Amino acid sequence: MLAGKRILLIIGGGIAAYKALELIRRYQDAGATVTPVLTGAAEQFVTPLSVAALAGQKAYRDLFDLTDEAEMGHIQLSRAADLVVVAPATADLMAKMAAGLANDLASTLLMATDKAVLIAPAMNVRMWQHPATQRNLATLRSDGVQVVGPNDGAMACGEFGPGRMAEPVEIVTATVAAFGPKPLTGKRVLVTSGPTHEPIDPVRYIANRSSGAQGTAIARALVDLGADVTFVTGPASVAPPEGVRLVRVETARAMLEAVIAAGTVDAAVFAAAVADWRVATEPDQKIKKTPDGALPELRFVENPDILATVSQRTSGRPKLVIGFAAETQNVLENATAKRLRKGCDWIVANDVSAATGIMGGVDNAVTLITADGTEDWPRMAKTAVAARLAQRISEALS
Ligand code: CTP
């Protein structure tokens, strides 16, 4: 994905600096070479030795290092790369960039470069929300700096909210996107997301705990890779992504109609938690309590299976159909059987038992099941699962 690309990676001084080590690995896996630069503060979090060892080359640190100047001056260093990436971009580093300061190697390189710059901010939630940081962010964006993250989540400082650095896999996706042309340009992808609401009467409904976070993140990651995304969502609690063809539905039947109306697509990702059943007859009026205390009885009928319907299409089937398996027990066994039963190509399986905190939470731990076998992905942010899945989709469609 990044074969032959040279990345100048500036590592800022924040707790997220440890993730820069994984980022270097991921860049190398994608075919890029990384020239690392550490700020003075970054050295408090990761050692130049470990960074250099992973990158396979010198970790640059000091503006006034004469050996460096003899080997490669800071101007040349800033230009030799194809892209400059700042991860983590601390509040201080962002402020320096926005103000145009150049009092150390990192800030000087950022001033001197003639290449595109991508930053992955990481800081305490209050620092991120501070008007000064938001002002600096706006300035940087208008200067053409690209930004990935930050994510919402629990932070090392014990607070919760936006400020956590994007996961390395998301930074790699953003890097691929920064180089363009985007690998999914011209591809049409359908994503279903969120819960469905199945009416009991005009005021009541049956729902489930899906927030729509995973489906939303997948749609966003696909858009980032250039896909033309139709996003069919039930009543989710997270806001839909930007840049999609948005179709809002309530029920499973409406979701199926919207999926069919979306027409032919290259890939379809069914992340929605569709209600398996609906109430057989929906009365026009609200069901009232009766004086004799008789309890209402609900009779259910099965909803159409959207994933199975699309997977088993004889004409116009997407090249790649991906289902989700939300299980609370025997996850692998159930999900493997589900892939065959539904007829989809891949299943993304996860354990949604209450104890995992996955449903409605920020993180996800999934297993990807394909015809070739199973792959356990480590627990990571839903946005990171999305970025990784989007990368896999782009490889499968290329
Ligand atoms: N799905 C769907 N339409 C339905 C039910 C499920 O498209 N009516 C899709 C979901 O979006 C998901 C996959 O099917 O991608 C698996 O959903 P899940 O609820 O886990 O499977 P079920 O078919 O309900 O199987 P089980 O009841 O055995 O768990």
Give yes or no for residue 272 CB within 6 A of ligand 1.
Answer: yes
Residues 267, 383, single domain; the answer is yes
Residues 241, 364, single domain; the answer is yes
Residues 255, 133, single domain; the answer is no
Residue 52 belongs to a domain: yes
Q: In the listed set 179, 205, 231, which residue is the last one of a domain according to the structure?
A: 179
State in Å: Cα 326 to ligand 1 middle.
8
Give yes or no for residue 276 CB within 6 A of ligand 1.
Answer: yes
Q: In the listed set 149, 179, 209, which residue is the last one of a domain according to the structure?
A: 179
Residue 1 belongs to a domain: no
Q: 332 is in which domain, residue-wise?
A: 188-397
Residue 155 belongs to a domain: yes
Instruction: Return the pLDDT at 63.
Output: 65
Residues 316, 354, single domain; the answer is yes
Q: In the listed set 155, 179, 203, which residue is the last one of a domain according to the structure?
A: 179
Residues 171, 198, single domain; the answer is no
- Would you state the structure tokens that stand for residue 217, as one six-digit string? 């993140």
Give yes or no for residue 193 CB within 6 A of ligand 1.
Answer: no
Please give the chain's pLDDT, 398 residues, in tens: 899 999 999 999 999 999 999 999 999 999 999 999 999 999 999 999 999 999 999 999 876 664 555 556 778 888 889 999 999 999 999 999 999 999 999 999 999 998 999 999 999 999 999 999 999 999 999 888 999 999 988 777 777 888 999 999 999 999 998 987 888 999 999 999 999 999 999 999 999 989 999 999 999 999 988 999 999 999 999 999 989 999 999 999 999 999 999 999 999 999 999 999 999 998 899 999 999 999 999 999 999 999 999 999 999 999 999 999 989 999 999 999 999 999 999 999 998 888 888 877 888 899 999 999 999 999 988 999 999 999 999 999 98
Among protein residues, the one whose CA lies closest to atom 20 of ligand 1? 325
Instruction: Give the active site residues.
Output: 157
Residues 162, 207, single domain; the answer is no
Instruction: Return the pLDDT at 65.
Output: 63
CATH code, domain with 291: 3.40.50.10300
State in Å: Cα 306 to ligand 1 middle.
8
Give yes or no for residue 8 CB within 6 A of ligand 1.
Answer: no
Among 274, 324, 327, 334, name the best residue to mutate to test ligand 1's pocket (greatest count of ligand atoms within 8 A of Cβ): 274
State in Å: Cα 296 to ligand 1 middle.
27
Give yes or no for residue 225 CB within 6 A of ligand 1.
Answer: no
Residues 62, 136, single domain; the answer is yes
Among 256, 276, 327, name the best residue to mutate to test ligand 1's pocket (greatest count of ligand atoms within 8 A of Cβ): 276
Among protein residues, the one whose CA lies closest to atom 17 of ligand 1? 325
Give yes or no for residue 349 CB within 6 A of ligand 1.
Answer: no
Residues 237, 137, single domain; the answer is no
State in Å: Cα 307 to ligand 1 middle.
7
Residues 170, 192, single domain; the answer is no
| Total count of domains within the chain | 2
CATH code, domain with 160: 3.40.50.1950
